[in-house]
Chains A and B, each alone.
Chain A
Amino acid sequence: MYVAVKGGERAIDNAHAWLAEERRGDPAVAELTLPQIREQLKLAVNRVMAEGSLFDPDLAALAIKQARGDLIEAIFLIRAYRTTLPRLGTSVPVDTAQMAVDRRISATFKDLPGGQVLGPTFDYTHRLLDFALAAEGEAPAAAKAPATPGPVPHVTGFLNRDGLIEEEPRDDATPADLTRTPLELPADRPLRLQAITRGDEGFILSMAYSTQRGYGRTHAFVGELRIGRVAVEMDIPELGFAVEIGEVELTECETVNQFKGSKTEPPQFTRGYGLVFGKTERKAIAMSLVDRALRWKELGEDNIGAPAQDAEFVLYHCDNIQATGFLEHIKLPHYVDFQSELELVRRLRAEAMTMQEAAE
């Protein structure tokens, strides 16, 4: 039961003023600017955009500053802001085959057309702290090599030619949108992907990891991982044709999964899919594993009761704003609730003691 309680206004105002002071930290240290956060903490900005489900690097940088670097709090701010925006339309589905790739690797094909492009990756670094970064200095310039313009083909396309992998036939049906209608089960694959792509990176990572450790194993290889920028096109009602209204950075992961066949499907490779705003590699890989695990029913696989196979469990617990909202609300005043619990326990104790005395 919730009852309005008055008082505490001055304490709250003072707490918020102190919060602002603490946020600023030592005034002798230069204040962070939003461009600094946007440019130098880009992966934090990317995560806030992905889980905030709103692509706007400047807003994400502001949210990170306001939240003092608490990314879930920053995501909360973005989600709240998002609800104030009128929806101007829906884009044409982005064409990731046309992506201008910074990075594109495959764990299944060594010599793929277009090559293995590492991009600006943490891979192959030694994970030793670089104390040179503690001092200010110029970053070395990146090397360049002649580039061949043009789109880089998807790896799964090569497997498709031999019929060794399931196809993803084009479907232009309007997908359900969980920002407009509450998520309901059973959720089809497009709806599941929307929930997972904005889901908590840590949760999706752990779910994916659990499948690798045997809780719903799907034998995944990274068929392709690509990071880059794609144009976003939208039909403009005033004009009657589509124009590019912007460009977003995306990370896409396609897994190729071993599949022995089932009652309904022939032996072939199957696929898991991850697509996430920004440079968010860990999340995209994890997303594709969880996507594949959740497909057990349509592929006629056994449900072994693994958490990652349970759509209700995954989809209803992956949103960190829902989770933190419910979790953290228990710290707010529950005085009346607790008062009734207190009275109940006192009454039960009194009854128990009376019974004990009677027995003696």
Chain B
Amino acid sequence: MDRKGWMSVLAKAPPARLAALLPDLPNHSYLRPPEIGSVMVQGRVGGTGAAFNLGEMTVTRCSVRLEDGPVGHAYVQGRDKTHATRAAVVDALMQTDAAPRLQSDVVTVLAAEAGALRHDRAEKAAATKVDFFTMVRGEDQ
């Protein structure tokens, strides 16, 4: 998984779940302390046309530096500052020797859980798919 991939997984992860998977953080300093803000979400007219402003969502961002140098960034959904900090620390750790361990113990777990949730809803949706059948009409006989 590339950096884009793990940052996306971390951004969408339930904060409590991320905290449970990685309770203790290594020493770090803030390049940018966690900041709550908004991002304007855009759509496209007709799904494909001109961009328009749909509305905002809350986002928290944070940038950290680990003691030994690596820098991590996070933009996560919602207003949870510890979520943003933890995601930034993981982003930094993913650039160190700890990457394989974090990948397997945190990122892959979160991605699998998100995938399972998504699959669960897809299965429920599939059960509500309509199977049309046409009634035999008199003139066809």
Residues of A within 8 A of B (CB): 49-50, 53-56, 58-59, 82, 85-94, 96-97, 100-103, 110-111, 115-120, 142-149, 154, 156, 167-179, 189-191, 193-194, 197-198, 231-232, 234, 236, 238-239, 241-248, 250, 252, 254, 271, 273, 275, 277
Contact A238 B73 (CB under 8 A): yes
Asked whether any CB of chain A lies closer than 8 Å to the CB of B56, the reply is yes
Q: Within the assembled complex, what's the spacing in Å between the Cα atoms of A148 and B121?
A: 12
Q: Within the assembled complex, what's the spacing in Å between the Cα atoms of A106 and B12?
A: 30
Within 8 A of A (CB), among B16-51: 35-51
Asked whether any CB of chain A lies closer than 8 Å to the CB of B1, the reply is no
Task: Determine how close the nearest CB of chain B comes to the CB of A28; give it in whole angstroms.
Answer: 32
Contacts A54-B57, A56-B79, A102-B121 hold; do A89 and B39 have CB atoms under 8 A apart? yes
Within 8 A of A (CB), among B32-83: 35-59, 61, 63, 73, 75-79
Contact sample, A vs B, 13 pairs, CB 8 Å cutoff: A54-B58, A85-B38, A86-B38, A88-B39, A89-B39, A168-B44, A232-B41, A234-B39, A236-B73, A238-B63, A245-B11, A277-B54, A277-B55
Contacts of A146 in B (CB 8 A): 123, 126
Contacts A56-B79, A93-B43, A245-B11 hold; do A87 and B37 have CB atoms under 8 A apart? yes
Contacts A90-B40, A115-B129, A271-B46 hold; do A232 and B57 have CB atoms under 8 A apart? yes
Contact B39 A90 (CB under 8 A): yes
Contact B42 A92 (CB under 8 A): yes
Contacts A85-B38, A173-B50, A177-B53 hold; do A117 and B11 have CB atoms under 8 A apart? no
Name the contact of A147 in the complex, choosing from B52, B59, B78, B126 (C-beta under 8 A). Answer: B126
Contact B78 A56 (CB under 8 A): yes
Give the size of the chain B interface in residues (CB under 8 angstroms).
53
Q: Within the assembled complex, what's the spacing in Å between the Cα atoms of A149 and B57?
A: 27
Task: Determine how close the nearest CB of chain A comes to the CB of B89; give it in whole angstroms.
Answer: 15
Contact B130 A115 (CB under 8 A): yes
Contacts of B51 in A (CB 8 A): 93, 171-175, 190
Q: Within the assembled complex, what's the spacing in Å between the Cα atoms of A65 and B122?
A: 32
